[in-house]
Amino acid sequence: MTEPTADLLPVGLEDRLPVAARALTRARRAALDALDLHGYERVIPPLVEFEKSLATRMSGVATRRMFRFVDPASLRTLALRSDMTVQIGRIAATSLKGAARPLRLCYAGEVATITADQLDPARQRLQLGAELIGSDSAAAAGEVVALAIEALTAAGARGVSVDFTLPDLVDTLAASALPLDADRIEAVRRELDAKDAGALKQAGGEAYLPLLYAAGPFDEALGKLAAIGGETAGGALESRIEGLRQIAARVGDRARLTLDPTERHGFEYQSWFGFTLYAEGVRGTLGRGGTYRIGGSDEAATGFTLYIDPLVDALDAAPSGDLLYLPPGHDPQVAARLRAIGWRSVAALHDGEDPAALGCTHRLEGDTPTAL
């Protein structure tokens, strides 16, 4: 091998070597086990699908970021998946159309994009999540937020915080208590995103100013939002505020909660409720979720997606544990019994090996593991 290492793999694609691979495997299994214990059944969709099938369930922007190629069998364009939630929606709407609702499904797998996004150079990520299909009620949202926190915690996260949002808030208010001309809605949403009070006024959104200040720690921010609902917006927000209260009551003891009711980034598909997940010591978001309608079938659903690679990268490397050297001529039955109680072993290939150099901590002497 004379190639320079930098040239070995395309930018944004990496190998996970033993220490990192062990940590990722452990975190992935623990998170999936948490979902399984709550009755979420795993499904495993393929890596590659018809581009059109993936695209009709996604926004146009996202599909341009997929790896695409022509299928010699069908002469149609295929794509490497960049998001598994659209696959879960497809399965719920087709093969599992007849299954009882609510339908609880979970998934874990690699997704890839042909271009990286500005904040994250990775072009391949492990995506892991759960979908509760057939309901977008506050009870469903509470279950899903609690489950997301439990899965993240199982994967090793500490100090989880959850930021709630109301993705269709402006649309709702514009159609009821704070009327807006249809051609101004987009500008008002944009300036709320930018948190620019002056531009918001100029865009004709003066009535929306109080929303800018209804963000922060959950209880305080919800109080401000409720005040807008009660005093300004004539009760239009009531059901959403009551939903948020229910969700917060369910998970408030497990995570730090904040509210940013006009946050839209990453919530292009969500309906009334969305949330973003963070953990102490990990930069950026670890996942997102919310209520939505499944593309194609238009069935109500609530779900979340986690990207646990940055979490695993931030965890302290777990100790690799004991490793038992089995010298030439050892009793294979003894070795098998020790493995059955959890010893990892490395068998001698020939005389004269150095067990320590192979990473071993112990050596089998007779039927006893002895520390090196």
Binders of a second copy in range 101-130 (CB under 8 A): 102, 104-105, 109-110, 112, 114-116, 123-124
Q: Which is nearer to a second copy, 57 or 264 (CB)?
A: 57
Residue 345 as a binder of a second copy (CB under 8 A): the answer is: yes
C-alpha angle 47/310/288, rounded to 5°?
70
The answer to whether the CB of 282 falls within 8 A of the CB of 274 is no
- Which positions from 321 through 340 interact with a second copy, judged by CB under 8 A? 323, 339
Interface residue with a second copy among 187, 199, 346, 361 (CB under 8 A) is: 346
The answer for residues whose C-beta is within 8 angstroms of residue 155's C-beta and 6 or more apart is 27, 28, 30, 31, 306, 308, 311, 312
Closest to a second copy by CB, 161 or 297: 297
Least distance in angstroms from the C-beta of 81 to a second copy: 10
What's the distance, CA 139 to chain centroid? 20
Distance CA 270, CA 57 (A): 13
User: Residue 221 CB, nearest distance to a second copy (Å)?
Assistant: 26
Contact segment (CB under 8 A) with a second copy among 89-97, 178-186, 206-214, 273-281 equals 89-97
- The reply on whether position 234 binds a second copy by CB under 8 A is no
Tell whether residue 298 is among the known ligand binding residues. Answer: no
Any binding-site annotation on 131?
yes
Q: Please tell me the number of Cα atoms within 13 Å of 109 on its side-chain side.
A: 20
| 83 is known to lie in a ligand binding site | yes
Q: Does 252 bind a second copy (CB under 8 A)?
A: no
Residue among 229 and 355 whose Cβ is closer to a second copy? 355
The answer to the question of residue 247 lying near a second copy (CB under 8 A) is no
Instruction: Check binding of 285 to a second copy (CB under 8 A).
Output: no
Compute the distance between CA of residue 66 and CA of residue 357 in angstroms, rounded to an integer: 44
Spatial separation of the C-alpha atoms in residues 77 and 51, rounded to whole Å:
6
* Pairwise CA distance, residues 334 & 38, whole Å: 39
Quote the least distance from Cβ 368 to a second copy, whole Å.
Answer: 18
Q: Amino acid letter at 72?
A: P
Annotated binding residues for L-histidine, written as ranges, equal 83-85, 127, 131
